[in-house]
Amino acid sequence: MYSIIVVPAHAADPGSQLRLAPGERLHFGRTTPYDSGRTTPRTAGGHRRHLDIPHPGVSRTAGEIGATASYWTLSNFSTASTYVVENPEGAGEHIKIAPGRVDAPVPFEFSRVVLPAGGDLLDFCVWAPRHDYVECAQASGEGEPTALAFPLDRTKRYFLVLAALCESRLRGAPHAPLPTVEQIVGRLRPVWPAVNRASVQWNIDYLAVKLRLKPGPDRADGGPRLNGKKESLVSLALRFDLVREDDLSTLAEVAR
C-alpha cells in the first residue's frame, strides 16, 4: 500500500501523480539518470522511478524522495543549493535541506518542495495521507494504543471542507442537497479568506484519497474516476461519525 503521493507542478489529473509504498524511492531532476552512475531505484516490476523537472537550472540528479510508513525523507544531491520544504498549512512552517544532506525526515502531511533553479523557484507537492493517529491511552495504561480507522486532523483545512459538506445534513436536513463548490467557498471565507474553487476542489480530491474512497489507490494510474465524490464523502463521514454536530463550531457563523 502506498504511503506518499508526489504531485508534480501543474499536474492535470491523478494519472500524473506518483505513488510510493514504504521502502520505495523516487529520484527527481532534469533528466532520468540512466547514465549518471548512480543506482537508479526500481519498482517491483523493474521500472525506474523518476520525477522529471525540465528546467536548465535543475541538476540531472537533483535529489531523492524515500517513503516510509509514517513519514518521508528527502535527499539533496546538489553541491550548492539548499532545498526548502514548506508546510502550506503551517503559517510559514518550513524546514531546510542543506546541500549534500541525505534522508532528512519530513513530518508534514502536506508539503511543498521548493527548488532554486537559476532565477526561478520551482516546486512540487508531496502528500502523506496515511498519517495515522491513535486513540487516547487506555485508562489502565496497559497495552498498545489503537490506530484510528479514518485518521483525520481537525486542524487542517480539509476538515473545514468536510464539515461544510456535512453541515446541512447535520443541522437536521438529512436529505438536503449537498452544497456546491461555490457555496462551500462562501461558507468558509470568514475562517479561510484565501479560499477559492480550486482549493476546495483540491481538498475534496485529497479527502477521497485520505479516506480511501478512491479505488485501487496503489495503482500507478490512480484507479478509475470516482463518481459522486462529495456524496460518497458525506455518506462515509456521517455513517462513522467522522464529523459531528459539535464540529460545526469550526465554521464561522455566516448571515443566512
SS3 of the chain: the string is CCCEEEECCCCCCHHHCEEECCCCEEEEECCCCCCCCCCCCECCCCCECEEECCCCCCCCCCEEEEECCCCEEEEECCCCCCEEEECCCCCCCEEEECCCCCCEEECCCEEEEEEEECCEEEEEEEECCCCCCECCCCCCCCCCCCECCCCCCCCCHHHHHHHHHHHHHHCCCCCCCCCCHHHHHHHHCCCCCCCCHHHHHHHHHHHHHHCCCCCCCCCCCCCCCCCCHHHHHHHHHHHCCCCCHHHHHHCCCCCC
Mean pLDDT of all residues in 68-75: 89
60-69, 128-137, 154-163, 166-175: the lowest-pLDDT one:
128-137
pLDDT, greater one: 83 or 144: 83
CATH of span 4-127? 2.60.200.20
Q: Where are the domains of the chain?
A: 4-127, 157-250
pLDDT of res. 218: 44
Does the pLDDT of residue 139 top 60, yes or no? no
> How many whole angstroms separate alpha carbon 72 and alpha carbon 91?
21
pLDDT of res. 44: 43
Does the pLDDT of residue 81 top 50, yes or no? yes
Does the pLDDT of residue 130 top 90, yes or no? no
pLDDT, greater one: 47 or 100: 100
pLDDT category of residue 239 using cuts at 50, 70 and 90 = confident
pLDDT of res. 89: 79
pLDDT category of residue 148 using cuts at 50, 70 and 90 = low
pLDDT category of residue 40 using cuts at 50, 70 and 90 = very low
